[in-house]
């Protein structure tokens, strides 16, 4: 053993000096591993539209069932100019937006406080768990007849239907947000002299905020998917109404226009919520 | 003076068994002292700290701070946790000043005091950083500054350096001695490292599990020696240090000790 004796002796120099552009390596990834998917998604979208063009051009499917893209676009321009079923496109869109926004506002202003209270208090949780767990898995179409019988065919029944559909995910997320709060964070605040009200405002609410925003995003998504059902109720305006009415006349191109408009608005809302999340909870996933 | 008198804690384990977590612990923490509780997992040292902090009621016995009974958490006892509990939505300075905010101190004074404390823990220039931008050691510095902000009568530290790498840990120990020497705060510190206990404590109490109780007490002055001479090597190579290390090691690893059969440290 000459380890001790050779201490301080010069180390052998590496044979090759590093080249100008060394080869960069990283650990072998597993699964998705955060790899970007945007370009793949865009290409898929383009391919699907291309396939649509091709099917329409080759007349593989009768246009009654699948109108071509240019037909749908022409119909879109026509509705934009002349409206549909006695109302302009703007009136249809704003009727739907009004219902969704009012319902979202109602669902949030009841769902968030109730969810927070359910996360904090066993009595509130005990009382409200049963009705919420009972009704929220029900498809809105199932209780739609009750809405009509109880609340009539005006705006009220449509907005209540949408509110009920949005309420459960918002309320349950707020509750989950409170439950995700680590007890150490509560203890830390108490040992810094927080009163119960300060604990709620400065610790509980911001801790639950990421989950609350996720709940709102899911809730608004559910709202859009319930819209057509809500507008089945004797509506004369609204995108959902437009789709249902067009289907009665086999106006498939109008159905496509309606679907496209709902998809675009739902995407815009979802994207807006993501932006809101980025502004309000920039720390999400970083702590 | 913090006075713990015959404090006992029993609680139910998840399977319904009763756990005797703390058995008639008696302990005084005087002004300007650092009392270190040392022991293996499940010896009741965290239970004792949680009781002093007011997070956990006692089954029997009493705890008083300057004559006032301790029964709930309060700003007169600053706590530094093992896992940092900084609020991710607040800046470093806002985190430090959280207790001052709760006390209703105006924002400008809070900011001033926070910057002063950040200088004390060697973090000047990080006031506006977000907690997630800091390393583990830096986050614990913020935790110490935050606990000091309300000017508590005692600092309670629950294995605060347990999750840090050994080099950072040594730096933090020296920082803590500096803070202690400058502020004169009394400190109750929990660790399972014998070396850390000997280095930091003016008093070391050794605890043993099942039931958790204090089995030995040593009064030391290595920490005062370091505060004056700042020579780690002189302390670590002192014969008295090695003797105490062996003696405590034998106490912690006594043959009847069954601490290896599963840690049930109360959280």
Return the HEC string of A1-53: CCCCCCCCCCCCCCCCCCCCCCCCCCCCCCCCCCCCCHHHHHHHHHHHHHHHH
Which chain A residue has its CA at the smallest distance from B156's CA? A191
The pLDDT of residue B264: 44
Name the residue of chain A whose CA is nearest to B74's CA. A191
Cα nearest neighbour of A280 on chain B:
B89
Residue B18: pLDDT band (50, 70, 90) is confident
Nearest CA in chain B to A196: B102
B79: chain A residues, CB-CB within 8 Å:
187-188, 191
B81 touches chain A (CB under 8 A): yes
A137 interfaces chain B, CB cutoff of 8 Å: no
Q: What is the pLDDT of residue B262?
A: 42
Residue with tokens 């502004």: A279
- Helix (H/G/I), strand (E/B), else coil: B37: strand
DSSP secondary structure string for all residues of B116-144: HHHHHTT-TT-TTS-GGGS-HHHHHHHHH
Q: A185 and B75 in contact by Cβ < 8 A? A: no
Q: Is B60 helix (H, G, I), strand (E, B) or coil?
A: strand
Exposure on the CB side of residue B104, measured as CA atoms within 13 A: 1
Length in residues, chain B: 267
* Cβ–Cβ below 8 Å for A191 and B79: yes
Residue A189's pLDDT is 94
- Mean pLDDT for chain B overall: 86
Q: Does A194 touch chain B (CB under 8 A)?
A: yes
Query: Which residues does chain B have within 8 Å of residue A277's beta carbon, measured at their own beta carbons?
Result: none
Using 50, 70 and 90 to split pLDDT, how confident is the model at B266? very low
Distance (Å) of CA A189 to CA A12, A68, A204, B22, B55: 57, 62, 10, 25, 11
To the nearest whole angstrom, how far is the Cα of A173 from the nearest Cα of chain B? 19
Residue A95: per-residue pLDDT: 92
Give how far Cα B117 sits from Cα of A9, A56, B154, Å.
48, 72, 16
What the block records as the tokens of B32 is 């300007």
Predicted TM-score (pTM) of the model is 0.81
**Confidence bin at B256 (pLDDT 50/70/90):** low
Q: Report the Cα A205 to chain-centroid distance in Å.
A: 21
Q: Which has the higher per-residue pLDDT, B189 or A13?
A: B189
Helices A140-151 and A205-230, interaxial angle, to 10°?
80
Does B160 lie at the interface with A, CB-CB under 8 angstroms?
no
**Distance (Å, rounded) from C-alpha B220 to C-alpha B203?**
6
Rounded to whole angstroms, how far apart are CA atoms B232 and B223?
A: 10
Does B89 reach chain A within 8 Å, measured CB to CB?
Answer: yes
Are A193 and B99 inside 8 Å of each other by CB?
yes
Residue in chain A closest to B157 (alpha carbons) equals: A188
Residue of chain A with shortest Cα separation from B103:
A193
Which among A191, A209, A286 has CB closest to B73? Answer: A191
Q: Binning pLDDT at 50, 70 and 90, where does residue B142 land?
A: very high
Partner-chain contact A190 B54, CB within 8 Å:
yes
Tell me what percent of the residues of chain A surpass a pLDDT of 70.
94
Cis, peptide link before residue A50, omega less than 30° from 0 = no
A239: left (phi over 0), alpha (psi -120 to 50) or beta: alpha
Cβ–Cβ contact A184 with B under 8 A: yes
Q: Number of A to B CB contacts under 8 A, please give it.
A: 70
Span B3-11, average pLDDT: 88
Instruction: Report whether A190 contacts A199 (CB < 8 A).
Output: yes
What are the mean pLDDT values of chain A's consecutive 10-residue runs (287 residues total)? 58 71 82 81 93 88 85 90 87 92 95 95 93 89 88 89 94 94 92 93 93 93 88 85 90 91 91 90 75
Calculate mean pLDDT across residues B186-195. Answer: 92
CB contact A189 to B (< 8 Å): yes
Q: Which of A189, A193, A209 sits opposite B103 (nearest CB)?
A: A193
- What is the distance between the alpha carbons of residues B59 and A247, in angstroms, rounded to a whole number? 72
pLDDT of B267 > 50? The answer is no
> From the CA of A284, how many Å to the nearest CA of chain B?
8
Is A196 touching B (CB cutoff 8 A)?
Answer: no
Which residue, A175, A151, A178, is CA-closest to A234?
A151
Nearest to A287 among B99, B131, B147 (CB): B131
Contacts of A75 (CB under 8 A, 6+ apart): A67, A253, A254, A256, A257
Q: Which residues pair with B63 in a beta bridge?
A: B4
DSSP per-residue letters across A49-66: HHHHHHHHHHT-S-TTTS
Whether residue B87 lies within 8 A of chain A, CB to CB, comes out as yes
Q: Is the ipTM of this structure higher than 0.90?
A: no
Question: Given an 8 Å threshold on Cβ–Cβ distance, is B132 in contact with A286?
Answer: yes
């Amino acid at each position: 053993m000459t380890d001790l004796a050779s201490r301080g002796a010069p180390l052998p120099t590496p044979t090759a000096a590093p080249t100008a552009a060394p080869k960069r390596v990283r650990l072998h990834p597993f699964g998705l591993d955060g790899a970007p998917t945007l370009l793949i998604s865009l290409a898929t979208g383009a391919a699907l539209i291309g396939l649509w063009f091709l099917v329409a051009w080759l007349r593989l499917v009768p246009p009654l069932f699948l109108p071509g893209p240019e037909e749908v676009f022409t119909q879109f321009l026509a509705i934009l100019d002349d409206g549909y079923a006695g109302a302009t496109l703007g009136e249809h869109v704003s009727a739907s937006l009004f219902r969704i926004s009012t319902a979202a506002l109602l669902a949030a202003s009841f769902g968030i406080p109730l969810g927070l209270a359910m996360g904090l208090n066993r009595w509130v949780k005990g009382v409200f768990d049963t009705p919420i767990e009972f009704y929220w898995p029900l498809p809105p179409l199932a209780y739609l007849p009750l809405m009509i019988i109880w609340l009539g065919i005006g705006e009220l029944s449509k907005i209540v239907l949408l509110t009920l559909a949005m309420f459960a995910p918002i309320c349950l997320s707020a509750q989950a947000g409170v439950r995700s709060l680590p007890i150490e964070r509560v203890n830390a605040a108490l040992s810094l002299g927080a009163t119960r009200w300060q604990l709620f405002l400065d610790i509980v609410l911001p801790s639950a905020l990421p989950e609350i925003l996720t709940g709102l995003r899911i809730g608004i998504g559910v709202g859009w998917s319930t819209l057509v059902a809500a507008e089945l109720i004797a509506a004369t305006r609204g995108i959902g109404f437009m789709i249902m009415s067009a289907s009665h006349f086999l106006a498939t191109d109008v159905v496509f226009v309606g679907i496209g408009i709902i998809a675009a608005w739902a995407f815009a809302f979802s994207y807006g919520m993501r932006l809101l999340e980025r502004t309000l909870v920039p720390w999400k996933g970083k702590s | 003076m913090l006075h713990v008198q015959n404090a006992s804690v029993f609680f139910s384990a998840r399977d319904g068994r009763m756990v005797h977590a703390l058995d008639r612990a008696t302990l005084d923490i005087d002004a300007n002292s650092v009392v270190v509780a040392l022991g293996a997992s499940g010896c009741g040292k965290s239970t004792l700290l949680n009781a002093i902090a007011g997070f956990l009621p006692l089954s029997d016995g009493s705890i008083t701070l300057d004559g006032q009974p301790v029964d709930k958490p309060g700003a007169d006892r600053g706590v530094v946790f093992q896992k940092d509990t900084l609020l991710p939505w607040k800046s470093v300075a806002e985190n430090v000043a959280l207790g001052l905010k709760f006390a209703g101190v105006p924002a400008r004074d809070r900011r001033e005091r926070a910057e002063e404390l950040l200088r004390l823990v060697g973090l000047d220039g990080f006031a506006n950083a977000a907690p997630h931008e800091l390393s583990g050691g830096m986050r614990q510095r913020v935790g110490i500054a935050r606990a000091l902000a309300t000017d508590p009568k005692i600092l309670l530290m629950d294995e605060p350096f347990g999750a840090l790498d050994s080099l950072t840990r040594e730096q933090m120990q020296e920082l803590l001695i500096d803070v202690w020497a400058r502020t004169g705060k009394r400190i109750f510190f929990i660790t399972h490292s014998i070396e850390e206990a000997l280095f930091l404590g003016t008093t070391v109490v050794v605890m043993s599990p099942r039931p958790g109780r204090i089995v030995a007490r040593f009064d030391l002055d290595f920490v005062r020696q370091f505060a004056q001479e700042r020579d780690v090597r002189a302390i670590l190579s002192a014969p008295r240090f090695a003797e105490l290390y062996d003696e405590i090691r034998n106490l912690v690893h006594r043959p009847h000790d069954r601490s290896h059969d599963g840690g049930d440290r109360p959280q």
